[in-house]
Each structure stands twice: as structure tokens, then as C-alpha cells.
Amino acid sequence: MLLEGSCHCRAVTFSVESRTPRPFNYCYCSICRKTTGGGGFAVNIMGDTPTLRIEGGEHLAVYQATVDGRTSTAMRHFCKRCGSHLWLWDPRWPELVHPLASAIDTELPPAPERVHLMLGSKPGWCPVPDASADERHFDGYPEEAIEDWHRKRGLLVE
């Protein structure tokens, strides 16, 4: 599925192909929360890096968080003009790029359930639906990867 996205001021626009376009992973880690500024979480999806096309790349900035005294390899891409967090790319998985669902302008298909991860980092003010079959909770990262989640539910876009 072709996903098209942009920053708020539209200085940066991009497109990327995704086989896993359903926004189901809600991350509450301090990095996602503070760099995205959402409802106490960020929702990443996944795309194929070789298909990433960018217009306005001169307006991009990259942030690499410090975790436990070390600079993370994960590169969070932002618009320098408006500050919108657009995607994350990590050289450990060079074939994958993780756009923020909030930066995608294409209508995304709904997810049949949500996974709330990194709840051990969640601030007290942030409400989280009670755990259920449709609202799964994890203090850290779940073992099921984004592609595996889509495949298991018959939602992988081929």
C-alpha cells in the first residue's frame, strides 16, 4: 500500500510502500512521548526503505536519543521548520523505515486491536484502556513484530 505523508507545514512530503499499514502499536516510552507530543504515546507503522521518496529533504533534521549514556542508532527524522516527527530509521534494520501514523496523509486501515507497549514508561496522567483481547498491554516490547502481527491476523498487504 502506498502511504503518503507530510509535516504540518508541508515543507517535507514523502511516500513509502507498506505491507503493514495498520496503526496498532501505541508506544509510551519517554523518547516517543516527548518527541511526538501526542496523547502520551506514539504510533509507528512500517514501510520498505527502498521505496521511501522524499521531497523537501533540505528541511529534515535528525535526532538520536541518548539511552543509558549511549547514543541510540535509531534516527528520528523531523521537519526543521515545524518540528513534526515524520519517521524513524535504524541502521540495524536498514530495509525498514517507521513512519509515524500521525504524519501519514493517506487514509490508514483500522486495526482490529491495539497493543500498548512500554507501559513501564507511561506517565500517570496518560489514560490507557483496560487490558482485554482488543487492548493488549506490555511493560516493555512484545515479542510479536509488526509484520508478524499483520501476518497472523491475515492483514499483511502483498
Cβ atoms of 127 and 26 within 8 Å: the answer is no
Q: What is the CA radius of gyration of the chain?
A: 15
Spell out the domain ranges in the chain: 2-152
Whole-prediction pTM: 0.93
Measured over the CA atoms of residue 116, residue 128, residue 63 and residue 18, the dihedral's sign is positive
- pLDDT (tens, 9 = 90+) of the chain, 158 residues, equals 999 999 999 999 999 999 999 999 999 999 988 998 778 899 999 999 999 999 999 999 999 999 899 999 999 999 999 999 999 999 999 999 999 999 999 999 999 999 999 999 999 999 999 999 999 999 999 999 999 999 999 999 98
CATH topology of domain 2-152: 2.170.150
CB-based contacts of 102, cutoff 8 Å, min separation 6: 36, 38, 42, 43, 85
